[in-house]
Amino acid sequence: MGLVRHRRQLNLRLPLPEPSNLLPPFPDPSASSVDTSPAISASDLESLHVLGHGNGGTVYKVRHRRTSAVYALKVVRSGSDASLRRGARREVEVLRRAAGSPNVIRCHGSFEEPCGDEAILLEYMDLGTLESVLRNYGPFGESNLANVARQVLNGLDQLHSRKIIHRDIKPSNLLVNSKMEIKIADFGVSKIMCRMLEACDSYVGTCAYMSPERFDPDSNGGSYNGYAGDVWGLGLTLLELYLGYFPFLDPGQRPDWASLVCAICFGEMPSLPELASGEFRSFVECCLQKESGKRWTVSQLLTHPFVCKDPVSGA
Ligand code: ATP
Ligand code: MG
């Protein structure tokens, strides 16, 4: 008897996001806030509950006392640590530069808490991360994956056109709301590139989602293309959402550094079941080329048949 798994079905059929050429113009980097509404301070907000913890601090669901608007407040425990404070301020700077895409989390401002911690006020995403959606609803079907891919590509297109590399694309940094919008979040290790190709510290981000060249930049002439690293993260994310487990490890296997590096740098691309469509297979292969130069760019991927199908008819 076959094993039947009952799952709550989540329909991630999403409207096509705006083409990036219709996005608002690049924001003025000298603007005092991402949001033009009056500045919000700690005393305006009441904390409702914790949404999540990360390396940098804690994210709370908060409500504005006067307007009742709900936000997510990321509090970086930077009180006495100057480098954490710099990191939080850099994250706000990147968010400001990235503003305007429907698929990048919106920042409503930032302020210093009375205790000296840096706080970043973000739009609230009520369904949480794609990691939690995977945990709660199980693996994604291809049409939902195409919608996820399309929206993340749209967000990455905006970031890359503004010379921002995210460097930590993974299911737990992609947020979803009940309008089924997907938004790229957590810019804690992202970088604004000053030159087209720039060597940068490779070991930032989550090691499991790092592309092969980040473990061994010398294999790419001593520098790596961070834009291609984001594409790798997207490919791995889609594969994980499809399979239901991290693709470079067996289900339930505990990760260790050596086996991860071996699998990512030298292992075969994780195999997909036979029922996976040719389009999905091809899309993932275009993202997960080991040589970064062979990986498709975000603009190329936006023309791939997997994401160009009509999201309603599937044709
Ligand atoms: P890490 O570096 O460990 O990835 P972090 O400290 O940089 O984490 P985030 O990834 O930004 O923090 O957020 C931590 C968690 O808080 C997320 O995984 C998510 O569960 C929750 N969270 C963050 N931002 C939001 C938001 N805008 N809406 C809803 N939940 C959020
Ligand atoms: Mg995170």
Which residues have beta carbons under 5 A from ligand 2 (an ion)?
A: 54, 173, 186
Q: Give me the tens of pLDDT residue by residue for the chain, a chain 315 residues long.
A: 333 333 444 444 433 333 333 223 333 333 333 555 668 888 899 999 999 998 778 999 999 999 999 999 999 987 777 888 888 888 999 999 898 889 999 999 999 888 888 999 999 999 999 999 999 999 999 999 999 999 999 999 999 999 999 999 999 999 999 999 999 999 877 777 654 445 555 555 577 888 888 777 666 555 567 899 999 999 999 999 999 999 988 887 787 888 888 888 888 888 899 999 999 999 999 999 988 889 999 999 999 999 997 665 555
Nearest atom of ligand 1 to the alpha carbon of 123: 27
Give the model's pLDDT for residue 188: 77
Q: Whose CA is nearest to atom 13 of ligand 1?
A: 54
Has 163 been labeled as part of a binding site? no
Give the model's pLDDT for residue 67: 95
* Ligand 1 pocket, residues with Cβ under 6 angstroms: 51-52, 54-57, 59, 72, 74, 105, 122-125, 128-129, 172-173, 175, 185-186, 188
| Catalytic machinery residues | 168
Q: Whose CA is nearest to atom 23 of ligand 1?
A: 59
Query: From the CA of 20, how far away is ligand 1's center (Å)?
Result: 25
Give the model's pLDDT for residue 309: 77
Give the model's pLDDT for residue 23: 28
Q: Whose CA is nearest to atom 17 of ligand 1?
A: 52
Give the model's pLDDT for residue 285: 96
Q: What residue ranges do the domains of the chain occupy? A: 4-21+126-308, 42-123
Hey, which of 136, 172, 186 would you mutate to test ligand 1's pocket, going by the most ligand atoms within 8 Å of its Cβ?
186
Nearest to 212 by CA among 288, 298, 297: 288
Query: From the CA of 58, how far away is ligand 1's center (Å)?
Result: 8
Give the model's pLDDT for residue 29: 34
Query: From the CA of 52, how far away is ligand 1's center (Å)?
Result: 6
Q: What is 42-123's CATH number?
A: 3.30.200.20
Query: From the CA of 187, how far away is ligand 1's center (Å)?
Result: 10
Rounded Cα distance between 134 and 108, Å, is 28
Rounded Cα distance between 25 and 40, Å, is 25
Architecture of the domain defined by 4-21+126-308 = Orthogonal Bundle (1.10)
Give the model's pLDDT for residue 257: 82
Give the model's pLDDT for residue 144: 96
Give the model's pLDDT for residue 314: 56
Is the four-CA dihedral 299, 304, 307, 308 of positive or negative sign? positive
